[in-house]
Amino acid sequence: MGLRKLTYEWIRSPVALALLLLCAVSPARAQGPAPESAPTLFPGGALVSYNSAFTTRGSPLDAEGAIPATARPTFSHQGTVNFTWGFHTNFDLTVLVPVVTNHFQIAGLNAGTVGGTGLGDAVVFVKYRFYRRDSERGTTQASVSFGPKLPTGSTSLTDRIGNVLPDSLQPGSGSTDLFLAANWTYTGLFNYKRLVADEDFHWLWRGKGTHETRLGSDGESRFWLSYRPYESSQVGREWFIGPEVIWAHLENDRLTGITQRGSGGDVLLAGLTTFVGVRPGTHVWLGMDWDVAHTHGAAFMPVRRDISIGITQQFRMHL
């Protein structure tokens, strides 16, 4: 298979995203390593990508001079390395390894910032494409993904006087969690081949972590409507751009078996994502989302802004 065909096949396929960049955030916010989330790589194909995600959250209402036990970072950065391998027809294996920086801004008399940087929880999952239908309009595809998030991340960050920070502010969670996802891609929307509807839904079921803490399980639905205004004749260069809508749900945390009511909630985000193939095998993306509406709760910290920048290199892996 030549490079042209290799590139064409990869462009029609992504990996289930992105994970998560987990314990610091959900596995798939903003753009992943490819413009479509349901397809799998061709057998023997592989990619390595790097995603840099910047997330800003609102402060909890009761955080005057204190760090709530359920606090999320007011600012976080997650740099995630993604390796994906198409090991069989309709099957991908993905490994995500994040490095996480979390900061929490304290208000009031003890104003300041606590946090730090550490290795995050790694994620390993398999994607299975169970449906594909080609037509003159385009291609419809659907897939499911599942796998564990492993407790590989650091849980030892401390505040300014040496107290260990809550699990929700640590790069790692100390828990083994289950990642589940369903993806659907519909090319040729309204019989227009350059218009693509893409839906990613994923859920992270969390187990008990360190310090008798069970962080709230969370789910996210992302719908992206993309238009391709440019595609080279060799399919080596192309450009996708379009709006997206994200609904994210976070369940309440549990500390020593007690539910922390008001620590969970819902957020509706809207934004724009663009994906560019700059040359055969090399692709970059930029996604930006802003808070549209969210649940109000004393301990809930909704995402206010999320920016994701990434680059992907695809190749053939010989065994």
Tens-digit pLDDT string for the chain (319 aa) = 333 333 333 333 333 333 333 333 334 455 678 889 999 999 999 999 999 999 999 877 555 667 888 999 999 999 999 999 999 999 999 999 999 999 998 876 667 889 999 999 999 999 999 999 999 889 999 999 999 999 999 999 998 889 999 999 999 999 999 999 999 999 999 989 899 999 999 999 999 998 889 999 999 999 999 999 998 877 678 999 999 999 999 999 999 999 999 999 999 999 999 999 998 889 999 999 999 999 988 789 999 999 999 999 999 987 6
How are strands ordered across the β-sheet holding 254-255?
213-214, 254-255, 258-259
Q: Which of 128, 48, 37 is nearest to 316 (CA)?
A: 48
Report d(CA 171, CA 122) in Å as an integer: 11
End-to-end CA, the chain: 16
Tokens 């309440």 sit at which residue?
A: 252
Domain residue ranges in the chain: 3-316
Tokens 């995402």 sit at which residue?
A: 303
Domain 3-316 = CATH 2.40.128.130: yes
Q: What is the pTM assigned to this prediction?
A: 0.86
Tokens of 163: 């107290």
Strands 139-149 vs 123-134: parallel, antiparallel or unpaired = antiparallel
Report d(CA 243, CA 227) in Å as an integer: 9
* Element holding 235 (H helix, E strand): none
DSSP structural state of residue 6: H
Contact 289, 269 (CB under 8 A): yes
